[in-house]
Structure 1
Amino acid sequence: MLGELAYEEVLTPEPDGDDPHSHRLTVAPGLTYRFRARRGAYGHWRVDPETIEPSADPMLFVARAHRTVLGLSGDTTGHLIRELTATLAADTRLDEGALSAAELADLGYAELEGHQTGHPWLVANKGRVGFSARDTERWAPEARRPQRLPWIAVHRELAAYRGVPRLDRPDHLYAEELAPETRADFARAVAAQGRDPEDYLWLPVHPWQWDESIAPLFAQYIADARIIPLAEDGDLRLPQQSIRTFLNISRPEARTVKLPLSVLNTLVWRGLPTERTLAAPAVTAWVHALRDNDPFLRDETRVILLGETASVTVEHPVYDRLPDVPYQYRELLGCIWRESLLPQLDPGERARTLASLIHTDPRGRSFTAELVSRSGLAPEAWLRRLFAALLPPLLHFLYRYGTVFSPHGENAIVVFDERDIPVRLAVKDFVDDVNISAEPLPEHEGMPETAREVLLTEEPSFLTQFIHSGLFVGVFRYLAPLCEEQLGVEEDEFWSLVRQEILRHQARFPEDKERFETFDLLSPRIDRLCLNRNRLHLDGYRDRADRPHAAVHGTVPNPLARI
C-alpha cells in the first residue's frame, strides 16, 4: 500500500536520515511511519514490509491517515475498508494453499490462474463488492472450484446474436458448444412453455448474476416467458483471474465464456456493455485479418489472438434506453464466446498467464527464477527470449496499424517451449481493450463500421500508454527488481534489454520510421497513469453513467529513453 500510493503521489514520503533507503511519512501530529524502500524505474517504490513502523497493518494505517495524508471522504473510507478487508481475506486463503514455485511451474494454464494474487498496482485488488463470503468460496478464482453453468433461452425480441463469418448463425455455434442431447433438451424446454424454439437464443448465465440481477430486474420477461431458464450444459468450468470468464476444463478445446457479473472489482463493475458485446465478433474479424494478411505477424511472430468469435447480447428494455443511469445497469446480460488457447499450441508448448512471472512463493522464490533455472539459459539470454516473444507483435500492431492491445498481466499470455523458454505471445480481451489511433491511418480503411463505432480511440502520443502502463509499468516494473534480486540481472540492464528489442524491431522495419516518431515509446518522460488515485480521490464509489478510466497525474522518467 505504501509503495503504490507513493508511486501515484497520493503519499509523499520523505528521506529519513542519510540512508537513501530509509523514509518517513508523518501521518498526524506525533505519529510518523518509518520504512525502508528501494526506488526503481518509472519512480517505483519497493517497500520492505518487515521494516514498517509502528505497524504494517493496512487497516490501522487507513484509520489513522484517511483524514490527513490520504485526504479521503468518509464514504470513500468506509467502502475502501470493505474492499481491503475482502482483499486481505482472499490473500489469506491464497497463502493457506500456496504452492512452491516448482509446483506452480508444473500446473496447466487453467489451474495456474487460480493461484494468482491479483494486480500488485491496485491496493484493493480483490474487493469484489457484491460478493458475500459464501459467494467468494464458490466463485472466486482462488477457490479453484470447478462449476457447471446453467443456460437460459431469451426471445429474439430482447436478444441479438453476432458471429464471425464461420459462425454467422447461432446454430453453428451451438453445434460446436453443446452436445446434441443438450440442444434437444433445451428445445423441448422452450416448447414446453408453448413457445417456438426458433424464436429464442441460448446463452449461459452466471448463477450469482441470475439471483442478484436477472431474476429481479428482468422479472417481467421471465414471467411472460421471453426469458426461460434452462438446465446446465454438463461441462465443468473454472473462473479465471477476471472472475467473469470461465475456462472449460471438461472440454479444454471448447470456447471460454465471458459473462457479465454486477460486482465492483478494481475500478469497474464487471458487466458486458451491450454495444461492445454486439461488436466483439466484428472486432475479432478485423484484428484477425490484420494478422493473417501480414507475413511478419502470421509467420514470424505467430502471435495467437484469442478471438471473441460469437456473442449474444440481451437488452434491458428500460435501462438500455436511459443513457444517464449508472452504467452497470446497461451491462446486465449477455455472453461472449472466446477461442480456446489449447488447440492453438504446438506439440510441446505450454502457456502461462503473464501475471505469473511476478509471482513469488511462500519462501520468496520467484516463479520467473524457477522457469529460468529449468530452461538452462543464462538469465540475460532468457530475458532476451521473453522480450523477443512479447514485444515484436505488440510493436508491429502499434507502428504498422496504429492499434494497441492492453497487454497487462491478465490479458497477455506467454507461450513457452518444452524447455520453458518463451517463444511467442497470446493476447485476449479485444472488444474491451483494443484501442486505435485517433489520427486517421490508411490501414484503418477496411475496418468494419460496427467495430469502428465501439473501439476507443486515442491520440498517438497517448496510444503508447497502453504498452507502457499495461506491460512496462504494470508488469515489468515489478519483474525488473525480482530479476535483480534473484537472477543477478541489474535493473538498468533489464531495461536496456527491453530497449534493445524495441530498437531491433525498428531496424527491421525502416519503412515505418515516421510511425516510430508518431508512436514514440522512447520519449524521456511519460504520463503517470494512476489506478488507486482514481478510486481514492476522483470517483470514489459513486455511480457513473460511463465507465471510469485511469487518472493521469504528472509524469515519470522513462527508463527506455536512456542511452
Structure 2
Amino acid sequence: MSGGAGAPVLGAVAGTGAVVPGADDPGTTVPPRWQTATTLGPIGFVAVDRADSDLLHAWLTHPRSAFWQMGRMSAEQVRAYVDELVADDAQDGWWAWLDGAPIAYVETYDPHRLVLDAVAEIEPGDLGMHLLVGPPDGAPRSGLTSAVMGAVIGFCLADDGLAAARVVVEPDVRNTAVHEKNAAAGFRVVREVDLPDKRALLSVCSRADHARSPLGPGHDAAPHLRPDAMAAAHRHLVAKTVAELSHERLLVPEPVGSRAPRGGRGQFRLRTHAADGAVDYTFTAHVLDLEHWVLDEPSIVRTVASSPAPLDALALVNELQPVLQIPAALLPTYLEEVSSTLAAAAAKHVNPGPGSQDLLGASFQQTEAAMTEGHPAFVANNGRIGFSLADYEAFAPERGSTLRLQWLAARTQHTHLALGAGRTPQQHWDEALRPDERRAFAARLRARGLDPADYTYLPVHPWQWEHRVAITFAPDVARHDLVPVGVSAHEYQPQQSIRTLADRTDDTQDYVKVALAIQNMGFLRGLSPAYMRHTPAINDWVADLVHRDPTLRRARFEVLREHATVGYTGDAYHGTATTNPYRKMLAALWRESPVPRLLDGERLVTMAALLHRDREGEAYATALIRASGRTPRDWLRAYLDVYLRPLAHCLLAHDLAFMPHGENLILGLADHTPVRAFMKDIGEEVAVLSDRPLPADVERVRAEVDDTEKALAIFTDVYDGVLRHLAGILHVDGVLDQDDFWAEVGACLRRHRDDHPDLSTGVDLHARTFAHSCLNRLQLRNTLQMVDLTDQSSSLIYAGQIDNPAVRA
C-alpha cells in the first residue's frame, strides 16, 4: 500500500454517462457493497477490480493527487499496485459512485498490519482509510467533497458496512485542506507521527464522533427530551402534584356539580394564579379513604385566562407558591428536583421497559429495574441533582445497567471496620474481595512503595470517585491516605435505593451500599462513618429480636443484616467544629442477600412493585392477583399477614419501628402470592420508641415518643405510605372495593390482637382517627434536608386528624 495521505481532495466531477468500473459488460451495474443517502443523492461503494487499473492510473497521476506521491507511476506499475491491493487481505480498494459515475477512490487497511503498525495509539477495531476525490470533469458540484467524506466515514463505521470501531487517518501535516475536512467529519487529532514517507497528523474518528460532526448523520444527545415524552411526564406529575398536595390538605379542589358518591368518580376544579391571570385545572378523580386522590390523567385540562394551555408541572409549582411557601432561597432547588424528575419520567416514557404482565415471569433484578415511580407520595422524587445525562444513563436504577465499584485503600489509622457478631476481618475480606482482587490491590500498593498492612479497603461508587474523592478529597489521595487500587471484578446493579448495589455476577453475595453525594428527595445521599460504627451491632440486635420471636418466625418475617461497615475519617471535614455533609462521603456497608434463603418455588420482588403501573396503565398488583388464582381478599390477606402483621407486632410487642416503604421491603412470592417479607435498611431507619433497656452500641436508635405517636409507625408509614396507594389501585381497577380492602386491614390487626391477649401496650391501632403526617410539606419546608435525622419526631408536620379507614363506625 502507498503511504499516501488520508483524504486528499482533487475536486468535483460532473460524472455523467460513466459505467461501473470492473463490470464485464459496460452496460451492466455492479450492486454497491453499501449505499447511503446524501444531499446530492445516493452514494454507493463498489470494490475495486483489476480491470480498473487504467482509470485509477489517470486519477493517481493527476497533478492534484500530489499528496499520494504516486504521480510518476506508469500504467504497468499501477496495474501491479492494484493486483497487490486486491490480493492482500489487509487492505481493500473502493470506488464511491454518484449518479452512475465514480466520484472518489477509497482505500481501507488494517492499521495493525500496515502503515501504522508501530503506532501505540492504534486500538482493536481501528480501520485505516485514504480518500481521493476524483479529478475535475465538467462544472464543479457544490458540497461534493463534504458529501463524499460523510459517506465514506459512514461506510467505514456502519455495522452493515465495514463495521470499524474507529477510522484512522494519517494525512501529511502540510495538507491543511484535508485537516479541515477531517475535522468536519469528526476526526480528533491525536498527534504528529513520523512515517517512512512523510510527517503525518494522526487522527481518529469514532462512531459517536462522526455522528455528532457536521458531516455525520446527526446524533440526538437526549432522545427522551422530546415534546411528546415531556408532555406525558408533565401530565403525570401534574396529576401526582394535585393528588398528593390535596391529600396533604394544601389544596382543596372544588367539585363541579354534585359530589360523586363515596369511592366514585367526580369532576373537580382547582384554581391557581399566574402572571397572565387565573389558571384553572379541571379533571375527574376518585376521592378515596385516607383522602387519597386518584386523578384520571387524560381528563386534566388547564386553562390560563380562560384559554387552553399545556400542562406544566414547573408552572404549577410557581402558581402554588403562595400556598406552598417554599423558602425563596430554596425554591430554585425544588424546581430543579422537579425538572430532574420530569427528565427521568420522559426517559421512562421513551424506554418503558417490560409491561406488568411481562413482570410476572421476570427476575428479581429485572423487576427492580422496571420500577418507574420512585416514592409514591413525594412529588419531586427523582431529583438526583449532581447526575449528568451520562451519569443517568450509567447509574439510574431504571436503566438496568451494571457498574464496577472503585476500590480505595484507606490508611487504617483513619479508618474503622465494624463487624457483626462472630465475624472476623479475615472472614469479611474473604467474602468482600476475590483473591485476584486482593492480590492486585496489594501489588498496586507495593508498587507505590506502600505497605498493604497499613491499609483497609473501601469501596466507592464510580460517580463518587470521579466527582468527589478525586476532587473534594484530592489532598487525601495525594498524601496516600486514600489510594485508588482498582475496580471490582464483579458487576453491580443499582437498586431503587440508588446507593445500594446488587451483585449481578453472583446474586448470593452481599449487597454493597455506598455514599453517593447527589441531592435527591430532600437529602444528600451520603453515609455517615459515625453511624456506620454501630450499624452491625444494631442489625445484630434487631435480627436476634426478630429471630427469637415466634410470631415473627411464623410470619416468615426476616431482616437482611448489614453485617459489615467501613468508614474513613482522616479528611479535613472531620476536623471541623460541626457536622456537615462532607463527613458522609466515604463509608460503605455490606448487607445480606435474600437469595440464599429462598425455598424451591419462591421468587423475589421489590414491594414497590405492588404500586407500579406500566406505561399502558396496567398495575402489577392487579396482574399478580389475577395470575395467582386466588380471590382478591384472600390474596390481600396473605400479603397483610407477611407485611402488616409482623410490623404491628414489632411495634406492639417490642416498641420497634421500621421504615417499611416499598423500597425497604423485598417480598417472597409463591404462585404470585406473598409468602414472606425481608426487611432491609436497618441501621439507618429503625427506631426503638420507648425507654426499654438497650445495649450501649444500640442506644443510637432510641427515639422515645408517647403511645399516640408510636401508632404513627403503622398509621403513617404503612397505612398512608403504602396501603392507601395499593387500595386506590385495586379499587380503581375494579379488583377490590376499598371497603373490602380496609376491612381486611382491620381484620388482620384484630386477629393479631386475639392471638396475643396478654400483650400489654398503650398503643391503639384501632383508634378511629390519627394525626395526618405530611411528607411533601417536609420537603417544601427545606428542600436540602427534610428532617433532623437525630430528632425526626420534632421535624414532623401534621395537617390535623384523619379518619382510620380500617375502623368503621
Please state which band the TM-score falls in when normalised by the shorter chain: over 0.9
User: What's the counterpart of residue 157 of structure 1?
Assistant: 413
Residues 243-392 of structure 1: matches in 2 within 5 Å?
243-298=498-553, 300-322=554-576, 324-325=578-579, 327-392=580-645
Match of 2:278 in 1: 30
- Residues 558, 677 of structure 2: 8 Å contact kept: yes
Q: Return the offset for 1:487.
A: 4.4
Paired position in structure 2 for 1:133: 389
Structure 2 match to 1:475:
722
C-alpha contact (below 8 Å) 1:397/1:404 kept by paired residues: yes
Task: Confirm or deny: 8 A CA contact 1:203 1:335 kept in the other structure.
Answer: yes
Are 2:513 and 2:590, in contact at CA under 8 Å, matched by a contact in 1?
Answer: yes
Cα separation, partners in 2 of 1:539 and 1:484, compared to 1, 3 Å? same
Cα deviation for residue 159 of structure 1 reads 0.7
Q: Which amino acid aligns with 2:654?
A: Y
Q: Which amino acid in 1 is paired with 2:242?
A: L
Q: Is 1:524 paired with 2:768?
A: yes
Q: Which residue of 1 aligns with 2:745?
A: 498
Give a deviation string over 1:433-471, Cα, whole Å, max 9, x none. Answer: 101123x23xxx3x3211113444443322232222222
Residues 1:463 and 2:710 aligned together: yes
Q: Does the aligned pair in 2 maintain the 1:394–1:404 contact within 8 Å?
A: yes
Select which of 47, 67, 72 maps to 2:295: 47
2:387 maps to amino acid: F
- Following superposition, the deviation at residue 546 of structure 1 comes to 5.8
* Contact kept in structure 1, 2:415 and 2:570, CA below 8 Å: no
**Aligned mates of 1:115, 1:43 — CA distance in 2:** 28
Structure 1 residue 348, shift from structure 2 partner: 1.1
For the Cα contact (< 8 Å) 2:407–2:458, is it kept in 1?
Answer: yes
Query: What are the equivalent positions in structure 2 for 1:180-199 lying under 5 Å apart?
Result: 180-199=435-454
1:343-392 per-residue CA deviation (whole Å, 9 max, x = no partner) reads 01111111111110111122222101111121111111111111112122
State how far apart, in whole Å, the 2-side matches of 1:69 and 1:270 are: 28
One-letter identity of the residue aligned with 1:139: F
- 1:423 aligns to what? 675
Q: Deviation per CA, 1:242-299, whole angstroms, max 9, x where unpaired?
A: 110000010101100000111111121111122221111001110111122223323x
Evaluate the alpha carbon distance shift between residue 152 and residue 254 of structure 1 in structure 2; reply closer, same or farther with a 3 A threshold. Answer: same
Q: 8 Å contact 1:158–1:316 — kept in the other structure?
A: yes
**Aligned pair in 2 of structure 1 residues 59, 332: CA closer, same or farther (>3 Å)?**
same
* Closer, same or farther: CA 557–544 of 1 in aligned 2, 3 Å: closer
3-state secondary structure, aligned to 2:731 = helix
Match of 2:255 in 1: 15
Counterparts in 2 of 1:19 and 1:398: CA distance versus 1, 3 Å: closer
Of residues 517, 533, 536, the one that matches 2:777 is 533
Q: 3-state DSSP class of the match of 1:121?
A: coil
Counterpart residue number, 2:242: 2
Deviation sequence 1:154-196 (CA, Å, 0-9, x none):
01121100111232x3221110122212111112222223232
1:322–1:12 CA distance, 2 compared to 1 (3 A): farther
AA at the equivalent of 1:42: L
Alignment-mate amino acid for residue 563 of structure 2: T
Alpha-carbon distance between aligned partners in 2 of 1:334 and 1:477, rounded to the nearest angstrom = 36
CA separation of 1:93 and 1:294: change in aligned 2, threshold 3 A: same
Question: 3-state DSSP class of the match of 2:301?
Answer: coil
Q: CA deviation at 1:323?
A: 5.5
How many angstroms does 1:119 deviate by? Answer: 1.3
Mark the CA change 1:542 to 1:387 in structure 2 (over 3 Å): closer, same or farther: closer
Give the corresponding residue for 2:320.
65
Between 1:228-237 and 1:98-107, the stretch displaced more is 98-107
Cα separation, partners in 2 of 1:103 and 1:551, compared to 1, 3 Å:
same
1:561 aligns with 2:802: no
Q: Secondary structure at the match of 2:517?
A: strand
Give the match's secondary structure for 2:467.
helix
* Relative contact order higher in (CA < 8 Å, ≥ 6 apart): 1
Higher mean Cα deviation, 310-319 or 156-165? 310-319
Q: In 2 relative to 1, CA 30–317 (structure 1 residues): closer, same or farther, beyond 3 Å? A: closer
Post-superposition CA distance 1:462-510 (Å, at most 9, x none): 2232222222211111111211232431101101101100110111111
User: Structure 2: which amino acid aligns with 1:122?
Assistant: F
| Distance in 1 (alpha carbons) for counterparts of 2:490 and 2:358 | 27
Shift of 1:401: 1.0
Q: Answer with 1 or 2: which has the greater Rg.
A: 2
Partner Cα separation in structure 1 for residue 767 and residue 604 of structure 2: 33
Cα distance in 2 for partners of 1:200, 1:36 equals 62
Q: Which amino acid aligns with 2:365?
A: A
More off after superposition, 208-217 vs 120-129:
208-217
The change in CA–CA distance for 1:225 and 1:455 in structure 2 (over 3 A counts) is farther
Aligned pair count? 549
8 Å CA contact 2:461, 2:514 repeated in 1: yes
Given candidates 97, 106, 111, the residue that maps to 2:351 is 97
Q: What is the distance in 1 between the residues matched to 2:381 and 2:803? A: 26
Could you tell me whether the CA contact under 8 Å between 2:272 and 2:280 is conserved in 1?
Answer: yes
What is the CA distance between 1:545 and its match in structure 2?
A: 7.9
TM-score (norm 2): 0.65
Compute the displacement of 1:544 (Å).
9.0
Alignment check: 8 A CA contact 1:406 1:467 kept: no
Secondary structure in 2 matching 1:26: strand
1:52-89 deviation line (CA, Å, top 9, x unaligned)? 222432123234333x3433444333222221121111
Which whole-Å deviations, capped at 9, do the CAs of 1:134-169 have from their partners, x for residues lacking one? 1111111011111111111101121100111232x3
Question: Does the 8 Å CA contact 2:625/2:672 hold for their aligned counterparts?
Answer: yes
Q: Could you say which residue in structure 1 is the equivalent of 2:363? A: 108
SS of the aligned residue for 2:444 comes to helix
CA contact (8 A) 2:385 2:520 kept: yes
Task: State how 1:405-424 maps to structure 2 within 5 Å.
Answer: 405-417=658-670, 419-424=671-676
Partner of 1:240 in structure 2?
495
Q: What RMSD, in angstroms, separates the aligned Cα atoms of the two structures?
A: 2.0
How far apart are residue 31 of structure 1 and its match? Answer: 2.7
Tell me the secondary structure at the aligned position of residue 758 of structure 2.
helix
451 and 511 in structure 1: CA distance in 2 versus 1, 3 angstrom threshold: same
AA aligned to 1:392 is R
Please identify, of 204-213 and 305-314, the stretch whose mean Cα deviation from structure 2 is larger.
204-213
Aligned 8 A contact 1:435 1:458 in 2 = no
1:453 is aligned, of 695, 700, 717, to 700
Give yes or no for contact 1:27–1:69 (8 Å, CA) kept in 2: no
Q: Give 1:121's aligned residue.
A: 377
Q: 2:787–2:796: 8 Å Cα contact kept in structure 1?
A: no
- Residue 560 of structure 1 aligns to a residue whose secondary structure is coil
Q: Could you tell me how far 1:324 is from its partner in structure 2?
A: 3.4
Greater shift in the superposed pair: 281-290 or 269-278: 269-278
Q: Is the 8 A contact 1:279 1:454 kept in 2?
A: no
SS of the residue 1:561 aligns to: coil
